[in-house]
Amino acid sequence: MLARRSFLGAASAAALASAAAGCAVAPLAAPAPVRAGHAPLRKVAFGSCIDQNKPQPIWDAILAGKPDLFVFGGDNVYASAQPWSRSRLQAAYAQLASDPGFARLRRTVPQLAIWDDNDYGLNDGGADFAYKQDSKDVFLEFWGAARDDERRRRAGVYHALRFGPPGQTVQIVLLDCRSFRSPLRATDQSGGAGKERYLPDPDPAKTMLGPTQWQWLEEQLRLPADIRLLVSGVQVIATGHGWESWGNLPLERERLLALIERTGANGVVFLSGDRHIGALYRDTRPGRYPLFEITSSGMTHAWTQAREAGPNRLGDLVTVNHYATLEFDWERARLRFALLSETGLPLRTHSVSLAELS
Ligand SMILES: [Fe+2]
């Protein structure tokens, strides 16, 4: 089946562009349409945390690598200052769109996006953010969701698509870890190693995804696919720190890992952002295939001083601006993933056979 996303309407594009404060901005270019369906993916690029006011030389390297698809993993603009306003969020997106490199990517490379707190609208925000519907409207408009897009008929911005024929199918599942998330338990020692901002809260009433998204996720995981990229703004299996992550709600994290087992979902790889660091992680447990996580965070402002324990991390943190790529070698049945510098130099690489992920 060929699915095609509509272009951003001319009127709404002009409205977004005119929201850019204080400067004349050309109407936004239409986003390249995403075509889910038969053609197999060869290469996906992924990144997060883009300050629209900072230089973005990284787009040139990403474009030179010719990805089939770019996945925006959240904090795609920074617009979480309070009091929140729709016009400031629109201006932030318009500012991003005015970057020549981003504009070229937007025109030429199909894109998928999920949000994190800074484009959702509230730093470390969850379900109680008062303007999440306004923010969602702007999000869907900017990322080119069609008028009949399923996300317009339900709460949140979670979304999934599958690409490629049987045997070469990549499923991309974008999880909304903001719209439904319960309040987190604040740390008792701000900045303390391993509990920098939050403590694990095993309250069974608390949720990361909310019941409807959980049900949807189970249905998605039961669909056939050879590789499944589960995109979460916040880190999933990474441990060793007390910033935001699925580890803040450990029962929800266990539920996710148990759901993958129960559904028999093969080929799961997590993609995450938020942290202003890059890293590869591997979670191994007896009787289950290894789960990898690729955190790619900091396309314009990585955290150069970052240090943290990484019990399940592969190699050191990446503390310079970077993005990630995933290359699907269908002939050899292998997946290669990499973190690359803003000039396209590989910083971390790893390769797995698809047989290892089942
Ligand atoms: Fe974030």
Taking the centre of ligand 1 as the mean of its atom positions, its distance from the CA of residue 161, in whole angstroms, is 23
Cα separation, 133 vs 137, in Å, equals 6
The whole-number pLDDT of residue 32 equals 85
Taking the centre of ligand 1 as the mean of its atom positions, its distance from the CA of residue 273, in whole angstroms, is 7
Please, is 95 exposed, middle or buried when counting C-beta atoms within 10 Å of its C-beta (0-12, 13-18, 19+)? buried
Taking the centre of ligand 1 as the mean of its atom positions, its distance from the CA of residue 245, in whole angstroms, is 10
Taking the centre of ligand 1 as the mean of its atom positions, its distance from the CA of residue 345, in whole angstroms, is 25
Q: How many helices (H) does the chain have, and how many strands (E)?
A: 8, 17
Taking the centre of ligand 1 as the mean of its atom positions, its distance from the CA of residue 287, in whole angstroms, is 33
Taking the centre of ligand 1 as the mean of its atom positions, its distance from the CA of residue 77, in whole angstroms, is 10
The whole-number pLDDT of residue 3 equals 32
156: left (phi over 0), alpha (psi -120 to 50) or beta: left
**Is pLDDT of 17 > 90?**
no
Taking the centre of ligand 1 as the mean of its atom positions, its distance from the CA of residue 118, in whole angstroms, is 6
Taking the centre of ligand 1 as the mean of its atom positions, its distance from the CA of residue 48, in whole angstroms, is 9
**Is pLDDT of 24 > 80?**
no
**Is pLDDT of 16 > 70?**
no
Taking the centre of ligand 1 as the mean of its atom positions, its distance from the CA of residue 126, in whole angstroms, is 11
Taking the centre of ligand 1 as the mean of its atom positions, its distance from the CA of residue 299, in whole angstroms, is 13
pLDDT band at 165 (very low <50, low <70, confident <90, very high): very high
Taking the centre of ligand 1 as the mean of its atom positions, its distance from the CA of residue 297, in whole angstroms, is 9
The residues, any chain, with a CB within 8 Å of residue 63's CB and separated by 6 or more, are 101, 104, 105, 108, 109
Q: What digits encode the pLDDT tens for the residues 246-260?
A: 999 999 999 999 999
Q: What is the DSSP letter of 170?
A: E
Taking the centre of ligand 1 as the mean of its atom positions, its distance from the CA of residue 64, in whole angstroms, is 27
The whole-number pLDDT of residue 84 equals 97
Q: What digits encode the pLDDT tens for the residues 259-296?
A: 999 999 999 999 999 999 999 999 998 889 999 999 99
Cα separation, 175 vs 186, in Å, equals 23
**Is pLDDT of 47 > 60?**
yes
The whole-number pLDDT of residue 4 equals 30
- Choose between 220 and 20: higher pLDDT: 220
pTM above 0.85, yes or no: yes
Average pLDDT in the chain = 91
Q: What is the mean pLDDT of residues 111-123?
A: 98
**Is pLDDT of 343 > 50?**
yes
State which residues have CB under 5 angstroms from ligand 1, the bound ion: 75, 116-117, 274
Name the helix (H) or strand (E) containing 58.
helix 58-64
Angle between helices 250-263 and 211-221 in degrees, nearest 10? 30
Taking the centre of ligand 1 as the mean of its atom positions, its distance from the CA of residue 119, in whole angstroms, is 8
The whole-number pLDDT of residue 27 equals 58
Spatial contact of 26 and 17, defined as CB atoms under 8 Å apart: yes
Taking the centre of ligand 1 as the mean of its atom positions, its distance from the CA of residue 74, in whole angstroms, is 7
Extended strands (E) in 19-96: 35-36, 43-47, 69-72
Q: What is the DSSP letter of 207?
A: -
